[in-house]
Structure 1
């Protein structure tokens, strides 16, 4: 008997499942994710699932982890302070593909160097400028290096990385190691995000491995990538960017395993995000343009997933303009009032009661802050340091923490870095008030919604008469925004082009009137023509109404609340490696290798050299991840042109895929 342990560390809950012989879920468990120390929540979930199944830790043959941590960090703008070394580009190139936004004010050095399309050196690498920059920039947790045409010749990236390591000792991400495709600015974005995530994911994996050892599980640990495949924990530490969409990808794999659906939209609601993807002909669709998350388009191969900042812990914003008013959810996650009250009840209830006695509402009603221990604070400004001193280790109401408007901006920066968490009214609080959830402090949720009710709309009336009606307004908005997310995905994946962006089509008046079954001179009907698989612990609370709204079949499978953890167990180890053969001059064929370009006189020989190199690289990566019975698939995409009636070789892209099941520990 092979027992596999799957663990998913989400923004709110950590899930654990035990699967026997890759066929049956024999136990599952949940625990609150403990951001102060992820190992605490992870350990509770693992111990609970072992106890429920009556299994000794030594009987576990394999452990696998999926996580939304990287995805959530990018959606919420969190992560470490980084620096970009941008070689061979212009200053203006920092504006392309959102690179400046990805840097978020972190330093960047643009220096001479780089190569041309054929892999030849375009300019000498400016080493003096690099060394001067490194000597004047402290507090950087990771460096990203991106050079022009580095996928054709990575020499300058490698040389710069070596110098950075020697001088700073900080981790370095080279863009050519993350993707073999052209498009330097986009590769640079990917490298910056990878560098930003390194410390965070390293801490997560380290604590996960410590937890397994403490419990007594001596089995190899795997991590789910964004395409649903597995890699080793050590590989994930080096390339944390590949874990973006890890949790959502695992949920797609889990949904397929739990339901055997051939064609369906899968919608996974967590605490921070709602992730929607399409399963077509039994396989998750892969995004050909690279994973897009948190507003950034990366070059990471991942499931074609639309990730929205919409979850059970999304911040509820009042809409007070106009005579009707309403609410809007997300994209930022906050701690539910009911949750922070469950952890610091005396402080929270005393402040909520004081706020309820006030004659007028305040923007800081039901808002609290607390520091997250253990998160590095390098590079923060004086105002942020003052806030941290005021916070100490306590839960503090925002109206007592913030004394000026400028301190509000400093608090936002601390939240973006993951150093501080703030609370607010969320859909989870609404579900507590409506009796759909009772995990945390129901009375605190009710007080929080009572405070929210008191906000005034354009007519001068309250936003809602009672906490119950306020809660229903929030849940109805969750239904509406979830339905829009599903419609956007459906329009984006349609084979037919409707001539407008998916976001516009989902909100178009004809679409919305069709959902309402408009009957006038025209009869309009709109519905999803594919079933939806709803996943997530809160899916049963919200998704039946979504199915009715979209007039489609909504499937909520057994174990849907732990589908991410299921998917973490049942995936395969898969590695794809790609490379390019070009023809710089007639009769000469250039193989672009990591060690530098090599020229050959025969096209077939050049392609064979590239194939052999990629085959060995992919197989080694799969072996390093612990794969057995490795299968190799090779694909060549040869592009040619007609010259004087003859086919002339232009370029060939070679892709090699190595896959196998992960090796298990034998008792």
Structure 2
């Protein structure tokens, strides 16, 4: 059994999970440890050491390590990530208005250079004078660069020249758009590249932390990372293209859900600390999103499972709107550090603040909230404005009450910017705290949860009444809100799969059906397949959610580590597209996976395109860690007959290579 043990690790926003898996015996051992954002290796070590001890095996029994993570997804949902410089070649400033690129860019710097190519790979001369002038200053303001050239998927030469110059001068990571997608649509490709650049340092830290721990334990084996489509790639490839790991955790959970339940048709909902991820299994396979993954409101060009990610989880911010006659509660999308968790790590500091605030005769506007550094390295705080730096310097590694920390109203916006950069956590009331108050969870500090809930219960509604009579009453309201909001996001995902334009949160008919309201007309709804609930807290949340949705709930024994299971049972897959176009009669240009090729015969051009696509896919799969990959080629030839003669518009040769990852023991 121990000849080929596989180690699966999933690093989420709150927990790091580990499983030891045998291809003959299944899950041999499983464990959880808190994710330690200041030093990810600590959480990884805690989980891995625990499974090794449980299984009573030596590190030498491990043949492969595979990693899935929600850190990249969480960063995009929460608007976090490093500051990146965007270089646009051959584009105009008005192109920023397309595909949400301007919103994604925010205050990050952008530079426009003359250059780029046409659809057949022909060039407009590149001028990098402006780049040379800006680089010395830009290199001090950002942590990475993104480069997007006009029609770079047909000819990447200008992107490569700009990339090399930036690396030479700044020594910072650079992402080129042609490395991420072969699809047309420059602004969306630029958006995807920008998001990738922001994630480089984050994923590099995660992989480095994992490699460092494994090396210290003498585990010298191939290391894989789960991609957003559920396939595996080598850690080195993931470092270059971290954007491909958005939805890595959710994709791994789908692969794990299928393995753990044996269900071919199901709705899969995975609740974590920060997000809820929903997808549909059909005939044993998740559907890929043909348009590209949507995360944090941005449509990327990343091929990923058709997963919908919502900012709703056990650690979601509890937002109370007390202005109406009756107070209303909404959850998320921001993640807070739960008071119960913060007090587990810093009991004296957190509980003293909450007790002091409870003794006060009146509720303060910042009561029940504290701030603490996340522990990111100092160099990731580059580019802070003076007021941001001043506030950041006052925030330490022990939580500090916001009513002490914030001395003026504008400082709240400054704090929010530090949170957005991933430098600071806000500690506050969450559904996890409510579950501790109700005794349904007990892993953290229940006293802090109770004190924080008691503080929030003092908030008065529009009629001047406290919003809840006891902490338990408010906790029940929060959990009921999580059940209802979860039902709405699951319904939203399922209705979108059905092509139905219904917003469950705004539909009166859906509201009546979910509440089982009596009436002359009775409304009801149900899912046509079971609801698989995943996540550490799945057993406490999903039975009620499934009941509200009229579905049978299926919560596997290993629901809490499904991502880690999915990380080790997947396959390596690589795909390469090569194009053939005709700029003029009798001339055929081959583009993609290498320099442009010019042919005077269509059959020769097609043969060259097939060979190039197949060879590049095979090479990419081997680089990604595949053992003996197999290649399949699909052809899409757009050649309509016009006035009796065939006219080639474009031919696409899509090669896919797949295989199981290499193991250290052959």
TM-score, normalised by the number of residues in structure 2:
0.97
Residue 466 (structure 1) aligns with = 470
Residue 589 (structure 1) aligns with = 588
Of stretches 573-582 and 556-565 in structure 1, the one that deviates more from structure 2 is 573-582
Following superposition, the deviation at residue 474 of structure 1 comes to 0.6
Residue 455 (structure 2) aligns with = 451
Task: Give the unaligned 5+ runs of structure 2.
Answer: none
Alignment of 1:26-37 (within 5 A): 26-37=28-39
CA contact (8 A) 1:271 1:314 kept: yes
Residue 245 (structure 1) aligns with = 247
| 2:412 counterpart of 1:419 | no
| 2:391 counterpart of 1:392 | no
CA contact (8 A) 2:593 2:616 kept: no
Following superposition, the deviation at residue 524 of structure 1 comes to 2.6
Residue 655 (structure 2) aligns with = 656
Residue 95 (structure 1) aligns with = 97
Structure-2 change in CA distance of 1:22 and 1:413 (3 Å) = farther
1:58 to 57, 60, 74: 60
Task: Give the unaligned 5+ runs of structure 1.
Answer: none
Q: How far apart, CA to CA, are the structure 1 residues paired with 2:318 and 2:383?
A: 31
CA contact (8 A) 2:78 2:420 kept: yes
Following superposition, the deviation at residue 218 of structure 1 comes to 2.1
Deviation string, structure 1 residues 273-301 (Cα, Å, up to 9, x no partner): 00001111110110001111011111011
Structure 2 counterpart SS, 1:267: strand
Residue 125 (structure 1) aligns with = 126
Structure 1 counterpart SS, 2:229: coil
Alignment of 1:464-613 (within 5 A): 464-494=468-498, 497-498=499-500, 500=501, 502=502, 504=503, 507-517=506-516, 520-613=519-612
| 2:278 counterpart of 1:276 | yes
Residue 436 (structure 1) aligns with = 440
Following superposition, the deviation at residue 594 of structure 1 comes to 4.4
CA contact (8 A) 2:372 2:395 kept: yes
CA contact (8 A) 1:516 1:525 kept: no
| 2:81 counterpart of 1:82 | no
Residue 300 (structure 1) aligns with = 302
Alignment of 1:268-417 (within 5 A): 268-375=270-377, 376-417=380-421
Residue 622 (structure 2) aligns with = 623
Following superposition, the deviation at residue 609 of structure 1 comes to 1.4
CA contact (8 A) 1:582 1:590 kept: yes
Residue 137 (structure 2) aligns with = 136
2:215 to 201, 213, 216: 213
Q: How far apart, CA to CA, are the structure 2 residues paired with 1:289 and 1:151?
A: 17
CA RMSD, aligned part only?
1.4
Q: How far apart, CA to CA, are the structure 1 residues paired with 2:183 and 2:654?
A: 12
CA contact (8 A) 1:518 1:525 kept: no
Following superposition, the deviation at residue 515 of structure 1 comes to 3.5
Following superposition, the deviation at residue 221 of structure 1 comes to 0.9
Residue 262 (structure 2) aligns with = 260
Q: How far apart, CA to CA, are the structure 2 residues paired with 1:247 and 1:551?
A: 27
Following superposition, the deviation at residue 608 of structure 1 comes to 2.0
Following superposition, the deviation at residue 93 of structure 1 comes to 1.1
Following superposition, the deviation at residue 129 of structure 1 comes to 1.1
Q: How far apart, CA to CA, are the structure 1 residues paired with 2:233 and 2:295?
A: 21
Q: How far apart, CA to CA, are the structure 2 residues paired with 1:453 and 1:22?
A: 52
Q: How far apart, CA to CA, are the structure 2 residues paired with 1:374 and 1:484?
A: 35
Structure 1 counterpart SS, 2:629: strand
Residue 2 (structure 1) aligns with = 4
Q: How far apart, CA to CA, are the structure 2 residues paired with 1:625 and 1:126?
A: 35
CA contact (8 A) 1:113 1:124 kept: yes
| 2:152 counterpart of 1:150 | yes
Deviation string, structure 1 residues 185-221 (Cα, Å, up to 9, x no partner): 0000010011101111101101100111212322211
Q: How far apart, CA to CA, are the structure 2 residues paired with 1:609 and 1:330?
A: 52
Structure 1 counterpart SS, 2:108: coil
Q: How far apart, CA to CA, are the structure 2 residues paired with 1:9 and 1:307?
A: 17
Deviation string, structure 1 residues 371-410 (Cα, Å, up to 9, x no partner): 1234321100111111122123332111111111222222
Q: How far apart, CA to CA, are the structure 2 residues paired with 1:24 and 1:601?
A: 56
Q: How far apart, CA to CA, are the structure 2 residues paired with 1:374 and 1:447?
A: 29
Alignment of 1:224-235 (within 5 A): 224-235=226-237
Q: How far apart, CA to CA, are the structure 1 residues paired with 2:24 and 2:186?
A: 42
Q: How far apart, CA to CA, are the structure 1 residues paired with 2:321 and 2:589?
A: 60
| 2:21 counterpart of 1:19 | yes
Structure 2 counterpart SS, 1:649: coil
Structure 1 counterpart SS, 2:13: coil
CA contact (8 A) 1:491 1:506 kept: no
| 2:186 counterpart of 1:184 | yes
Deviation string, structure 1 residues 433-480 (Cα, Å, up to 9, x no partner): 010111111010000000011111111111111110111111011111
Q: How far apart, CA to CA, are the structure 2 residues paired with 1:523 and 1:475?
A: 26
Of stretches 128-137 and 63-72 in structure 1, the one that deviates more from structure 2 is 128-137
Q: How far apart, CA to CA, are the structure 2 residues paired with 1:505 and 1:639?
A: 40
Structure 2 counterpart SS, 1:658: strand
Following superposition, the deviation at residue 140 of structure 1 comes to 1.4
TM-score, normalised by the number of residues in structure 1:
0.97
Q: How far apart, CA to CA, are the structure 1 residues paired with 2:515 and 2:437?
A: 28
Structure 1 counterpart SS, 2:649: strand
Structure-2 change in CA distance of 1:648 and 1:505 (3 Å) = farther
Structure-2 change in CA distance of 1:630 and 1:29 (3 Å) = same
Following superposition, the deviation at residue 517 of structure 1 comes to 4.5
CA contact (8 A) 2:577 2:592 kept: no
CA contact (8 A) 2:578 2:593 kept: no
CA contact (8 A) 1:484 1:507 kept: no
Query: How many pairs align?
Result: 661
CA contact (8 A) 1:47 1:215 kept: no
Structure-2 change in CA distance of 1:604 and 1:259 (3 Å) = farther
